[in-house]
Amino acid sequence: MQLAHRVSKVTPSMTLAIDAKAKALKASGMDICSFSAGEPDFDTPEHIKAAAKQALDRGKTKYGPAAGMPELKQAIADKLASEDRLEYTADQIIVTNGGKHSLYNLMMALLDPGDEVIIPVPYWVSYPEMVKLADGEPVFVITDAANGYKITPEQLEAAITPRTKLFILNSPSNPTGMVYTPEEIRAIAEVLSHHEQVAIAADEIYKKILYDGAQHLSIGAVSAEMRSRTIISSGFAKAYAMTGWRIGYLAGPLDLIKAATKIQGHSTSNVCTFAQYGALAALTESQDCVESMRQAFAQRREVMFQRLNAIPGISCLKPDGAFYLFPNIKELGLSSLQFAEMLLEEAQVAVIPGIPFGMDTNIRLSYATDLNTIERGCDRLYTFVKNRINNQRPTVR
């Protein structure tokens, strides 16, 4: 069978593949310490589950509006206004089947063949693949540790061409956990203010998971002009431990949201109805669960950060948000894929190689797991690296 050409342009998700392999090994009886999945190990908070159960009991099992329940869209708009100073009407919001789906809808609604999309490196693995599926062209801008793996205004200015249609801004970042400061956001907005054809996809799904006083500023809140060109992508998976619920959203210009709704109406239709009642409870009821999980992540971050930087040949920046570390392994003489495969096979520790994030000198570790697993996994990682370093040493004659 002759498949569509677009399929050949897309790379399978390595994060999902490695996480699946780690789970399969664990299911077979192996003791796997997995740092692969970007998934909180906490159960969804009880009041959110209760809201979905109540919705089921009330018969909320039918089709709903393609763009989402009106009351949920209004709650999202209210939250964006109160937390981020972003003024959107409910009509400017679409509820999607997860944050990933919101970005896919965005790419399909916005991009034409040949449109360029600026993506800072390292990036979340699905950004370039979504761009390619929409017949756009990813334009990669390499960042470095010296700048906290964040694109500079000068780099952004140099990357913009007449064909640039979209700039993707992810803060807090997956895979690095780095957060753009308010000053850095304003500097980027200043560059974009001179290029009216460029829209901004602001992926803010980790915005509630911040540490050490880091502040989140949405670029759409910088000015009315920026808001008119910014599309906010977010969801409930990370902050509310609702990964399997598949609830995300886009907020943006009305014409873009209408286009995304048209696409969704012919692809997935509405999001699971009773799950939306859980999302509504997440937004409108107590936020104590978010803070308690954030505090646990903060403790885990500290432990893993200290343990990683104590390993010879590994260096790691301290993240400001999300729940990832992105250590550099260049000194160890392995590609990121070689390192990840050997670590899983020899030490039963699952990490994600940096290559699908665009940076082969690094690996990504998630600390969205318990402290015992973090301690045991870091012990194994330390031993694995020490053995490799010792085996590389020349024999003394």
pLDDT reported for residue 20: 80
Same domain, 149 and 250: yes
Residue 57, domain member (yes or no): no
Element (H, E) at 379: helix 371-392
Same domain, 182 and 301: no
Same domain, 234 and 153: yes
Same domain, 211 and 112: yes
Residue 76, domain member (yes or no): yes
Residue 297, domain member (yes or no): yes
Diameter of the chain measured on Cα atoms? 80
Distance of CA 344 to the CA centre of its chain: 23
Whether residue 336 contacts residue 353, with contact meaning beta carbons closer than 8 Å, is answered with yes
Interhelix angle 336-347/14-27, nearest 10 degrees: 10
pLDDT reported for residue 8: 81
Element (H, E) at 96: strand 93-96
pLDDT reported for residue 392: 63
Residue 50, domain member (yes or no): no
Same domain, 35 and 99: no
Residue 136, domain CATH: 3.40.640.10
Last residue in a domain, options 224, 249, 284: 284
Same domain, 94 and 230: yes
Same domain, 192 and 308: no
Same domain, 155 and 76: yes
Residue 152, domain member (yes or no): yes
Same domain, 279 and 299: no
Cα angle 163-111-122, degrees, rounded to a multiple of 5: 75
Same domain, 159 and 194: yes
Tell me 315's DSSP state. Answer: B
Residue 52, domain member (yes or no): no
- Domain carrying residue 226: 62-284
3-state secondary structure of 395: coil
Last residue in a domain, options 284, 315, 345: 284
pLDDT reported for residue 396: 31
Q: Closest Cα partner for 40 from 202, 179, 208?
A: 208
Whether residue 232 contacts residue 98, with contact meaning beta carbons closer than 8 Å, is answered with no
What phi and psi values does residue 396 have, to the nearest 5 degrees? Answer: -80, 125
pLDDT reported for residue 4: 87
pLDDT reported for residue 32: 93
Last residue in a domain, options 259, 284, 309: 284
- CB-side neighbour CA atoms (13 Å) of 286: 7
Same domain, 191 and 276: yes
| CA–CA distance, 140 with 307 (Å, rounded to integer) | 32
Same domain, 33 and 77: no
Per-residue model confidence as pLDDT tens for the chain (397 residues): 988 888 888 887 777 777 788 888 888 888 999 999 889 999 999 999 999 999 999 999 999 999 999 999 999 999 999 999 999 999 999 999 999 999 999 999 999 999 999 999 999 999 999 999 999 999 999 999 999 999 999 999 999 999 999 999 999 999 999 999 999 999 999 999 999 999 999 999 999 999 999 999 999 999 999 999 999 999 999 999 999 999 999 999 999 999 999 999 999 999 999 999 999 999 999 999 999 999 999 999 999 999 999 999 999 999 999 999 999 999 999 999 999 999 999 999 999 999 999 999 999 999 999 999 999 999 999 999 999 888 764 333 2
pLDDT reported for residue 14: 73
How many structural domains are present in the chain?
2
User: Would you state the structure tokens that stand for residue 143, as one six-digit string?
Assistant: 């960042």
Residue 381, domain CATH: 3.90.1150.10
Residue 48, domain member (yes or no): no
Integer distance in angstroms from the first to the last C-alpha of the chain?
61
User: Would you state the structure tokens that stand for residue 367, as one six-digit string?
Assistant: 């600390």
Element (H, E) at 340: helix 336-347
Residue 51, domain member (yes or no): no
Interhelix angle 99-110/254-265, nearest 10 degrees: 110
User: Would you state the structure tokens that stand for residue 80, as one six-digit string?
Assistant: 């964006």
